[in-house]
Chain A
Amino acid sequence: MHSFGYRLNGLLTFAVTILALMCVIASLSDNLNIPSPSAEIQIMNINWFQKQPKGSDEVSLRMNISADLQSLFTWNTKQVFIFVAAEYETRKNSLNQVSLWDAIIPAKERAKFWIRSSNKYRFVDHGKNLRGKEFNLTLHWHVMPKTGKMFADKIVMSGYSLPEEYI
């Protein structure tokens, strides 16, 4: 601690090191939060169900998504990224996941919502397996922190099925 510059350097280094420690502890404090989210998805309507010229099935559906994800937010949360995926099984693949819709929730106040929307992304199969297919709709979320570890989890909702014939 000899000169002005030496002390300034020492202060800034120590301050930044302690700041890094504070961020680590802030991230660890996220583990104290036990979230209790809830969600429900209704398929209001199957808009159309076609076979594409190349031969793959494609569905367009209109969903009513309602969720209460407020308990996911902590003081260290920047935003929550959610997406809805359709999951089903075919002869070729034990698990197919197709992302239908996603959104970014920037604040806790916006985390309790309902939205009616058709699928943002195309629900296309690898093949012609969708007729009469039973599938799950899963709501995934990624809690993105301001600093530290990101948490991800999901709710699986089952019991949905597609029509037997093309519409």
Chain B
Amino acid sequence: MSYFTQNSLLSFLGYPVSLQTFLPLSAPSLHFTMDWQGQKLAEQIMQIMLLVFAVTAFVAGYVLGSFQMMVLVYAGGVTLTGLITIPNWPFFNRHPLNWLDPSEAEKHPKPQVTVSSKKKGFKR
């Protein structure tokens, strides 16, 4: 696979891709986080998947006349939903917030609060 297609594939999966080196910035590790958009997406996926699996499990159990079937299908659905929405998969991190670099922050010092105007008492 050429660097270009590999890059496109990685960026599609949500891996942060650097433009200079055409290689992923960080290898898959446990230190991934989700960004805010990803958290919202994870919550939506979880709710919808659980509801869909609940309905599917109930219909399957009712049609087959087996309570056990309903519980098994639902348990499988809960596990699958957990595997998709709980770990910090890369596709939940497609809109990361880039915190300001420390060296850049030093160039813009915090504005000073002027203390002189807050004396006790008021002198005319």
A residues whose Cβ falls under 8 Å from a Cβ of B: 1-2, 4, 7-8, 10-11, 14-15, 18-19, 21-22, 25-26, 29, 75-76, 146-147
Contact = CB atoms under 8 A, between A and B. Distances in A.
B65 A18 contact: no
B70 A14 contact: no
A129 to B, nearest CB: 47
Range for the number of chain B residues in contact with chain A:
20 to 34
Interface in B74-124: 74, 78, 81-82, 85-88
The prevalent SS among residues of A at the interface is helix
A18 B51 contact: yes
A110 to B, nearest CB: 17
Given A1-B40, A19-B74, A14 B46 contact: yes
The prevalent SS among residues of B at the interface is helix
Could you say which of B65, B67, B82, B88 has the most chain A C-beta atoms within 10 Å of its C-beta?
A: B67
B62 A29 contact: yes
Contact of A11 (B46, B66, B67): B46
A14 B86 contact: no
B17 interface: no
A75 B40 contact: no
